Structure 1
Amino acid sequence: MKTQSQAADISMKSAAVIAGVSLLLMAVLAPVANFSILQILIVPDNAAETVNNITANIGAFRMAIVLFLAVAVLDIVVAWSLYIFLKPQNKSLSLLTGWLRVVYATIFLVAATHLINVLQLLSGADYLSAFTNSQLQTQAMLSITAFNQGWEFGLIIFGFHLLLLGYLLLKAGYMRKILGILILLAGLGYIIDGAGKILLPDYNLSISMFTFIGEVILIFWLLIAGRKLTVTQ
């Protein structure tokens, strides 16, 4: 017989849907913020043109920051819901998996503050008159670079999160083993890319661009099959 606290707890089916919806929203918001806004405004190795682009599209730049913050919050929601979803399989390992995603989300949030710093540099505040335009442009470009590098470092942690997640999916009798294997490959892709950029100055591969397919499949599995589970918690 369930106690009152147990009865009020969220079910695995609900956790699957929450995780799936959150991941789907992230899959839309993150590319919009990064590829449709930020990467269009940034001109590599040209701080002046980059700052001019941001100044001329300051509203879009602010929107990108808001979308990135929303993605970080959704990451925390996903960490919580996946913990509940996988808790019957292995409570302690599921908790560690969730915490790794929270750590990644925290690193990403800290990295995003560098974009807010760009807004401050371009605000035209009186105290900024001590800097020349060239210096302000260089500082803005350094902040954007710091954001990208912080995000890339966080993706290494995210890769380890996916390794544990893939392992749990492999062991769960209510999941397709191929999905666990694909998530493991996705995790390895992020780790290899992240470590490569740190260890090799000329690293220009992007393995994760080919191994992320498991993440996409997981979204739709959670939304379609996850809500139909009959596993006893």
Structure 2
Amino acid sequence: MKSMRTANHNMQQKAAVFSGVALLVMTVAALFAQGYVHSSLVIDGDAITTLKNIQASQVLFRLEVLGWLIIVITDLIVSWGFYLFLKPFHHGYALLAGWVRFLYTAILAIGVSHLATANSIVQKSVLDMSPDNLPQQAMHSITAFEAIWSFGLIIFGIHLIAVGFVAMGTKKIPKVISILVVLSGFSYSFLHFMYNFLPQLESFTGLLELILMAPMVIGELGFGIWLLVKGRKVTMD
């Protein structure tokens, strides 16, 4: 019994480390892929300029696709790691959180496949293959990625809420971390529900997103840093 408890504790410690590292890697990849490349190359509503931007920065666009693939892989690690770390606190919610994040990751992967399609379209445009409608084709694939990812973030928010509820149910995890994770989850789900189902309020939603950006980022990232610094030392005694 003692050896089994020790093995479970070691697994929980490893899960904390792997999850924390994966979250940090994911954050860097997201800042590069979405925060830098995507926001600088893609111009909303302007397919021709967007295609020209990508044509002029093909390597950068491919690196964005690679960045999203890294995010998908690290998301899978976090899904499994969160489940293993949280399972001793509340098995049911931990399992729910893990599966919900896995579902989000699957949706994200589908979205990223559309970016890969856009990259193929750009290659055709360089070879001057059917150039007339290629800007629209590329933009269609890019907007498909954005729409699928945005819908997935509603589910991602539910995952964070489940994680936060598990965290609030134990004294091992600081309450401020738990509250920030829950707030982050509600923010993701609410904002992207607005984007997807109330598009007429896009301006208001965009303003609200700027206000909530800090807690959205700090929530999960803060939990990841806590996992690396303190979580790996948690005991169930």
TM over 0.5: yes
Residue of structure 2 aligned with 1:136, choices 106, 117, 134: 134
Q: Please, what is the CA RMSD of the aligned residues?
A: 2.2
Offset, 1:210: 3.3
Larger helix proportion of the pair? 2
Within 1, Cα distance between the matches of 2:93 and 2:12?
17
Give structure 1 stretches of 5+ with no counterpart. none
**Quick check: 1:48–1:134 contact (8 Å CA) kept in 2?**
no
Q: What CA deviation, in whole Å up to 9, does each residue of 1:130-165 have, x standing for no partner?
A: x4x241101101111111111100000000001101
Within 2, Cα distance between the matches of 1:110 and 1:209?
25
Offset, 1:3: 6.4
Code of the residue aligned with 1:116 in structure 2: it is A
**Quick check: 2:9–2:235 contact (8 Å CA) kept in 1?**
no
Within 1, Cα distance between the matches of 2:63 and 2:156?
24
**Quick check: 2:150–2:196 contact (8 Å CA) kept in 1?**
no
Percent sequence identity over matched residues? 35
Which residue does 2:170 correspond to in 1?
172
Offset, 1:92: 2.2
Q: What CA deviation, in whole Å up to 9, does each residue of 1:92-114 have, x standing for no partner?
A: 22111101111111100100011
Which residue does 1:149 correspond to in 2?
147
Which residue does 1:46 correspond to in 2?
46
Give structure 2 stretches of 5+ with no counterpart. none
Within 1, Cα distance between the matches of 2:97 and 2:37?
31
Residue of structure 2 aligned with 1:209, choices 206, 210, 213: 213
Code of the residue aligned with 1:29 in structure 2: it is A
Aligned length: 229
Q: What CA deviation, in whole Å up to 9, does each residue of 1:17-65 have, x standing for no partner?
A: 1111110111111110112111111122211111011111111111110
Equivalent residue of 1:175, what SS?
coil
Equivalent residue of 2:112, what SS?
helix
**TM-score, with length taken from structure 2:** 0.89
Code of the residue aligned with 1:209 in structure 2: it is M
Offset, 1:119: 1.7
**TM-score, with length taken from structure 1:** 0.91
Which residue does 1:78 correspond to in 2?
78
Within 1, Cα distance between the matches of 2:181 and 2:4?
36
Equivalent residue of 2:173, what SS?
coil
Deviates more, 1:193-202 or 1:50-59: 193-202
Within 2, Cα distance between the matches of 1:116 and 1:88?
39
Code of the residue aligned with 1:73 in structure 2: it is I
Which residue does 2:62 correspond to in 1?
62
Residue of structure 1 aligned with 2:224, choices 196, 213, 219: 219
Equivalent residue of 1:118, what SS?
helix
Within 1, Cα distance between the matches of 2:38 and 2:195?
21
